[in-house]
Amino acid sequence: MNVKSQTYGSIAFVERNFALVRRYIGWEVVFLSYNVVNALAIGLIGATMGKDMVLYLVVGAMVWGFLSILFHEISESIAWERWEGTIEYTFMAPISRFTHLIGNCLFAIIYGVIRSSLILLIIVFFFGISIKGANLPGVLVILVVSGLSFVGLGLVAAVLPLLSTEKGAYATHILEAGLLLISGVYYEIDVLPVWIRPLSYVSPATYTLKAMRAALLEAAGFSELLPTILLLLATGLLLIPLGMLIFSRAEHYAKRKGKLKRAG
């Protein structure tokens, strides 16, 4: 396929995923409501310790909501295909896997930014927080470049539901929970046990959270955020090809073993 065809193909997958959102809009309302209430509850916990702690925890909840959406949408895209009964058609279609996966990744980033922006607006209104001095363009850039890193991790995690029909999708939550533990979402990584702390330094979420807090709470400019932005960009450019390579190998194995069927 040429570049133009690949581009149209990826856009088609983006459109298809948004069509699924409209089809299951009730579920989306439930998930969004849970994310909003979760962020508000965490913010209220911080309210007992002062305004600064509210902002600290709220940013953590919002950013983690964004990153978990990306991870979930990519890693469980295979489970959705199997549940819809379209997995065999999609994987046997005359379209490159690159086009298929990039389309899903683009959807995840766009959808994640939209949902996270909505959650941020609700949080600001609920707590009466002023973000006039915050570097909002910087926040948007950080969300996008950090999304690339989590897209790569999501592609690796998507191998699990591809290889295991019944338990693979649930196993991806173990990886997500591990990232939540080591990345300093609700606390500084300094409080982690010494033996696990080194893992924090290889988690993209750690740097995303630090940069987001700097942009929103300290109004850090692009010159201050640039090193972290470049680091996240480089991490994403490394993880996405790696994730696609791993997924491609797993796909070949799944086809040989007949694991693309809906059940069994």
Render pLDDT for 7-30 as a digit per residue (tens, 0 to 9). Answer: 777 888 888 888 888 888 888 888
Contact between residue 103 and residue 9 where contact means Cβ atoms under 8 Å apart: yes
- Enter the tokens of residue 264: 């069994």
Q: How many CB atoms lie within 10 A of CB 218?
A: 12
Q: What is the model's pLDDT at position 32?
A: 85
- Give the CA-trace dihedral at 169, 30, 134, 52, to 10 degrees: -90
Intervals of the chain under pLDDT 70: 1-3, 51, 75-76, 79-89, 91, 164-169, 258-264
Q: What is the model's pLDDT at position 263?
A: 52
Alpha helical stretches, state H, the chain: 3-23, 25-47, 51-75, 77-84, 87-92, 97-127, 136-157, 159-163, 168-182, 197-200, 204-217, 222-257
Q: What is the model's pLDDT at position 21?
A: 83
Q: What is the model's pLDDT at position 43?
A: 85
Q: What is the model's pLDDT at position 221?
A: 87
Q: What is the model's pLDDT at position 261?
A: 61
Q: What is the model's pLDDT at position 3?
A: 67
Q: What is the model's pLDDT at position 55?
A: 80
Q: What is the mean pLDDT of the chain?
A: 81
Tokens 């850090």 — which residue?
220
- Burial class from Cβ neighbours inside 10 Å (0-12, 13-18, 19+) for residue 137 reads exposed
Question: What gap in Å lies between CA 39 and CA 64, rounded to an integer?
Answer: 10
Q: Which residues contact 64 (CB under 8 A, 6 or more apart)?
A: 180, 183, 185, 205, 209
